[in-house]
Structure 1
Amino acid sequence: MTITVVGSINMDIVALTDHYPCRGDTIFGNEIRFSPGGKGANQATACAKLGKEAVIVGCVGEDPFGDRLIETMNDNHVNVSFIKRSESKRTGTVLVTVDQSAENTMLVVKGANEDLNAGDVESSSELIRKSKVLLVQLEVPEKTAILAMVKAREYGVTVILDPAPAEGMSLNVLKLADIIIPNRQEAKYITGIDVTDIQSALAAARFMEQSLGVTSLIIKMAERGSLVYSAGQWEYLEAVKVNPVDTVAAGDAFAGALACAIADGESLVSAAKFATIVSALKVTKLDAQEGIPTMDEVNEFCATRNLQHYLSD
């Protein structure tokens, strides 16, 4: 059962520090880490580590970062056959700062991700056709993402869109997805509503349905849980309480886990519950892909916390 991910592949250069520097300041950090990342690569890795056949369509440069990123995904059993090597751009790179509260800030340099184009989607169209789910984000050119979504819809493949980063996004792209999964900041960009609690999340969800034609969505509110909305029906899911270490890729772990559950035929609420558990476990570990849990780790976590997910029903 294949899940295809069309998306970014980056090297995260992560600085761990007690607190963020103010503009113009020089402070000392605690550690520097070179961590394979990129929303597309993270989400494909999550799908693979959770036991699904995952394929990524993406682009890296002809450089050591690109070599390592491909090697890491291959080691995690992601199919890397559809990764292109750009001859003109370096591998995408992200400068990440993580403070003692586990919150992060990021500066993304897209690099080779910008070279992923329509021809690459055409080359992978048969792969998309045979997939159960297409998972897309917006760290690659929007036209490329849109073409992949259009093809998936033509083939009857379920499309999940993580609308990140939202800035500059054409809102029409939302209509091509079966499910969208914005966080609070992205929901605000899309709707203008500041999502701070259940009621504001519900208002944002209703706005997206009534004004944008989005009928199925999950608004992620980090430690405040999430709101699952589908065709006027909604359910609030509490977050799983953990001691966070690193929130980088928590949303990607959520997206990958959601895609796995949807591919297995679960309802949106059931899939979101599973994704909530997986993303909570992710933030207890450092690094984007290394910190994403395996299915065995999820089961062990659920056993110790007396939690249930759909595979244990």
Structure 2
Amino acid sequence: MQANVVIVGSLNMDLVTRAPRLPRAGETLAGQSFVTVPGGKGANQAVAAARLGAKVAMIGCVGNDAYGEQLRAALLAEGIDCQAVTAVAGESTGVALIVVDDSSQNAIVIVAGGNGHVAPAVVDRFDALLSQAQVVICQLEIPVETVGHVLKRSRELGKIVILNPAPAVGPLPDDWYPWIDYLIPNESEATALTGLPVDSVTTAQAAAATLMKAGVGKVIVTLGEQGALFATQASAQHFAAPKVQAVDTTAAGDTFVGGFAAALAEGKSEAEAIRFGQVAAALSVTRSGAQPSIPTVEDVQGYPS
């Protein structure tokens, strides 16, 4: 299989508990349930792109442990090319500790584990995968220098380059912006990147303008229930969100990114790809968990238009 979407990023085992609300500092709460679920922004986006129609390859690192074996098996079960998912001896697999409250909001702590070993040299061993791809996606759960390396190399190869800047703690390196075709932050990430408050379509437009001034090609700010703003140098368009009853918002952003990329790789227009990603993300929040919540192409096609 020749992948048309390649994800370079993180693989985590999500350790998920549900509680009535998120705990305050120093507080112990009684939880309602606990499950382990395959996750990590990179792996989530790989699963989303695969379920939503793309041929996908994943580049990343896990620990040499049971969680790592389970994560790799989960990707293989989705038909994802895992030749570049490397087990690191003596290291744990990345984990995400997630608390979900009764209003479906979540708080997450991440331990990088194997994800910290995704060095530029690791990516270079699988340059053929990048060369074959149409779309390359990165996030920020692997070392920053590796993300920059992948963005630059993908631009050199003439690929469609997507960066989901999550988790974002501040502005991106200045030299990254011209390498990015589509920058896809949520509200808090757009705020971290620009220093501007982002909580509406109007404020998202101001943040997107700042990011494009820095050199990025196009910006999609995802706004949860408020939909998404798609901004280019020439225009800005708001896409309303499908109306659903949220159960768990975990991996909604990852589902959008994977769906958007899969649709672009299939040749859909930007507007079609955004709407496709939005419906996929909306369906995902009606289900619990990260990868288990991600819908299929058939699910999205069956959604009332």
Structure 2 counterpart of 1:276, from 270, 275, 278: 278
Partner residue, 2:184:
181
Cα distance in structure 2, aligned partners of 1:154 and 1:217: 21
Which stretches in structure 2 are left out of the alignment for 5+ residues? none
Cα distance in structure 1, aligned partners of 2:217 and 2:297: 30
SS state of the match for residue 290, structure 1?
A: helix
Contact residue 7 and residue 57 of structure 1 kept, 8 A: yes
Cα distance in structure 1, aligned partners of 2:56 and 2:95: 23
Contact residue 179 and residue 216 of structure 2 kept, 8 A: no
Shift of 1:266: 2.4
Distance 1:218 1:133, change over 3 A: same
1:207 equivalenced with 2:210 (yes/no): yes
Aligned partner letter, 1:61: G
Structure 1, residues 148-204: CA drift from partner, whole Å, max 9, x if none?
111111111110000111115533223321110000011111111111112111111
Structure 1, residues 91-144: CA drift from partner, whole Å, max 9, x if none?
000100000111111000011100011111111111101101001111001111
Aligned partner letter, 1:234: A
Cα distance in structure 2, aligned partners of 1:90 and 1:47: 26
Which stretches in structure 1 are left out of the alignment for 5+ residues? 308-313
Cα distance in structure 1, aligned partners of 2:269 and 2:298: 22
- How large is the RMSD of aligned CA atoms in angstroms? 1.2
Cα distance in structure 2, aligned partners of 1:25 and 1:190: 31
Structure 2 counterpart of 1:257, from 256, 259, 264: 259
Cα distance in structure 1, aligned partners of 2:24 and 2:13: 25
Contact residue 140 and residue 165 of structure 2 kept, 8 A: yes
Cα distance in structure 2, aligned partners of 1:60 and 1:30: 29
Partner residue, 1:310:
none
Cα distance in structure 2, aligned partners of 1:190 and 1:169: 4
Partner residue, 2:22:
20
Aligned partner letter, 1:29: G
TM-score normalised to structure 2 length = 0.96
Contact residue 215 and residue 229 of structure 1 kept, 8 A: no
Structure 1, residues 65-105: CA drift from partner, whole Å, max 9, x if none?
00110111111111111101111320000100000111111
May I ask how many residue pairs the two structures share in their alignment?
302
SS state of the match for residue 110, structure 2?
A: strand
The runs of at least 4 consecutive aligned structure 1 residues that moved more than 6 Å come to none
Contact residue 9 and residue 59 of structure 1 kept, 8 A: yes
Aligned partner letter, 2:179: L
- The sequence identity of aligned pairs, in percent, is 36
Cα distance in structure 1, aligned partners of 2:14 and 2:56: 21
TM-score normalised to structure 1 length = 0.94
Shift of 1:215: 3.0
Structure 1, residues 196-242: CA drift from partner, whole Å, max 9, x if none?
112111111111122x1123010011111110011231110111111
Contact residue 36 and residue 288 of structure 1 kept, 8 A: yes
Contact residue 15 and residue 36 of structure 2 kept, 8 A: yes
Distance 1:160 1:273, change over 3 A: same
Partner residue, 2:110:
108
Of 220-229 and 170-179, deviating more is 170-179
